Amino acid sequence: MSDVLERLAVELESRKKADPATSYV
């Protein structure tokens, strides 16, 4: 996995935990 994709995955997980409304992403 590329560094960019890995950071994107981490960012999405962080957003999901911070705001459940983003879980649809």
User: What's the rounded Cα separation, in Å, for the pair 21 and 3?
Assistant: 26
* pTM score: 0.48
Total domains in the chain come to 1
pLDDT at 13: 85
Which residues constitute the domain of residue 20?
1-25
Q: Is 5 exposed, middle or buried (0-12, 13-18, 19+ CB in 10 A)?
A: exposed
Is pLDDT above 60 for 17? yes
pLDDT at 20: 66
